[in-house]
Amino acid sequence: MKATAVAPANIAFIKYWGKKDASLRLPLNASLSMNLSEAYTTTTVEFSPLFTHDTVTYKVSLQREFVGFDKKEEERIIQHLDRLRKQNNISHRARVATENSFPAASGIASSASGFAALTAAAAAALGLQYSEKELSIFARLGSGSACRSIPDGFVLWEETFARSIFPHDWWDLRDIVIIVASGKKEISSAAGMEQVNTSPKLADRLAAISGRIKRAIEAISNKNIQALGEVIEEDCLDMHAVMQSQVPPLHYWSKETKAIMDAVRQWRNKGLAVYFTIDAGPNVHLICEGADEGEIVKAVKAMSAVKEIIVNKPAEGARVIKEHLF
């Protein structure tokens, strides 16, 4: 009863900020994302009647040894396994090993890829014939955005599950992740979202989301980088305006973040089709077409604020593989 799955992280083009049901991890609004080829989690799960307790370990790229999670994260993972066991009337304990392809402090949210990989591997280890929709729903209970890492390529999350709207090979896009800061955020996304209803800008944001999603889907359908880039930036700036007008306000941008945003605008003025988006943190994602990758990476590397660059293409969703971690 052992299986291994790999699942990508994702970047939201149209983002959600706030939950209408925190326990079920249901978002206030729909979101649209792209899976990332170079940011993924591999997880092996084995269930056995011989195991007396659950064991959960992980390592990140460049680490040699698997180590234990902190207690809070370990409990969250075991709770997810408990949901699966309860739903399927199974009592066997599990051994879980997980490995990220990207460093923990990269600013790429690992909970999305982590819980998507855990869900797919655990279901396969138990021989459960879950549909993609069922896997997406179950992954969401572990981490909201994990539901977007189950389907392929470009993904729309509405309500309880996410679905692929275009395959990963539809369009040769890039997400160039620029890491300017590492380390844990003072205020996590989950904690920040709890205060979203104090923002006077929230109602206007929610009213605009469906129109933005429609524009983004049309842009991807037509492979129109300018149309996609404009709506991506619009939504990013709008989400951060909500964060900054909450009580207490959340300011995730650093001076390095703002310098990159300014640089992107200057590069566009010179004819380079590149656009930014920023999640709840200081690191910046640059969206462009594959043909412009080299020139943009060169320009980024010339900036002193940049600590690391990770270049991603659109990626497949979660899938079971044959090679195990143990």
Alpha carbon distance 92, 48 (integer Å):
6
- Which CATH class for the 2-168 domain? alpha beta
Q: Could you say which residues of the chain have pLDDT below 50?
A: none
Q: What percent of the chain has pLDDT over 90?
A: 90
Q: What was the pLDDT predicted at 105?
A: 58
Confidence (pTM): 0.95
Structure confidence at residue 204 (pLDDT) = 98
Maximum Cα interatomic distance, the chain, rounded to a whole number of Å? 64
The matching CATH number, chosen from 3.30.750.24, 3.20.20.450, 2.60.40.10, 3.30.70.890, for 173-312 is 3.30.70.890
pLDDT tens-digit readout, 86-101: 999 999 999 999 999 9
CA distance 183 to 160: 31
Instruction: Report d(CA 153, CA 167) in Å as an integer.
Output: 5
pLDDT on residue 107:
65
Q: Is residue 121 within 8 Å of residue 179, measured between CB atoms?
A: no
Residue ranges, CATH 3.30.230.10, the chain: 2-168
Q: What is the pLDDT of residue 233?
A: 98
Residue range(s) of every CATH 3.30.70.890 domain in the chain:
173-312
> Which pLDDT score is estimated for 188?
81
Spell out the alpha helix ranges (H) of the chain: 71-87, 110-125, 132-142, 189-193, 202-222, 225-244, 255-269, 293-301
